[in-house]
């Protein structure tokens, strides 16, 4: 009787391990950890789990036009972010005034609903560098779930940060 119980418990343990492995594989293939890191010290100041293909928006006030700019990013794969579009309502320094032809892509420039919308084909980044605005910019990330993160609540104005994604399992192992 104890041999039968032992085999039964072994089957339960194997089933639990198998379920755990399947869940781990699913999560590691479909989710990443988004991180914001101080460039100078390497300190991670923000982490969030995102799904591959999930979008988020970097909002800020342009220093010259004093008007809002919206940069929409998405998680392209386990290690890459991509800029999907940019929207603004007036031209200013470093804002495109028409379609751009770059080495490996051509942007689309679309006036729409009072905004200029720039669509990107393949503007990919391993890491997105950002000098956090000190006075006007108020750089803020807005995630698909509605969470808003002001960079000034994480670091001081003028500080250099970068944001990026890591595979979920790699991020868990790193801590």
Taking only the tens place, the pLDDT of each residue in 103-125 is 788 899 999 999 999 999 889 99
pLDDT score, position 31: 93
Parent domain of 169: 2-174
pTM above 0.85, yes or no: no
Count structural domains, the chain.
1
Report pLDDT for 65: 87
26: left (phi over 0), alpha (psi -120 to 50) or beta: alpha
Strands (DSSP E) contained in the chain are 31-38, 44-51, 55-61, 68-77, 80-88, 108-112, 115-125, 127-131, 140-143, 148-150, 160-167
Encode pLDDT of 53-102 as tens digits.
Answer: 999 999 999 988 889 999 999 999 999 999 999 999 988 777 888 888 88
Cβ(128)–Cβ(165) below 8 Å = no
Contact between 115 and 83 under an 8 Å Cβ cutoff? The reply is no
Given a cut of 60, whether residue 1 has pLDDT beyond it is no
pLDDT for the residue 24: 66
């Amino acid at each position: 009787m104890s041999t039968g119980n032992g085999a039964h418990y072994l089957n339960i343990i194997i089933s639990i391990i198998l379920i755990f492995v399947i869940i781990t594989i699913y999560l590691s293939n479909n989710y990443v950890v988004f991180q914001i890191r101080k460039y100078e010290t390497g300190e991670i100041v923000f982490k969030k789990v995102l799904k591959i293909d999930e979008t988020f928006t970097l909002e800020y006030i342009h220093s010259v036009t004093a008007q809002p700019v919206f940069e929409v990013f998405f998680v392209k794969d386990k290690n890459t972010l991509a800029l999907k579009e940019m929207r603004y309502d007036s031209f200013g320094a470093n804002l495109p005034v028409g379609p751009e032809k770059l080495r490996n892509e051509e942007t689309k420039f679309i006036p729409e609903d009072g905004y200029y919308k720039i669509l990107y084909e393949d503007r990919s980044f391993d890491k997105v560098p950002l000098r956090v605005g000190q006075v006007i910019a108020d750089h803020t990330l807005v995630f698909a779930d509605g969470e808003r993160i002001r960079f000034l609540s994480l670091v001081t104005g003028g500080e250099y940060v970068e944001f990026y994604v890591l595979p979920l399992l790699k991020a868990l192992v790193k801590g």
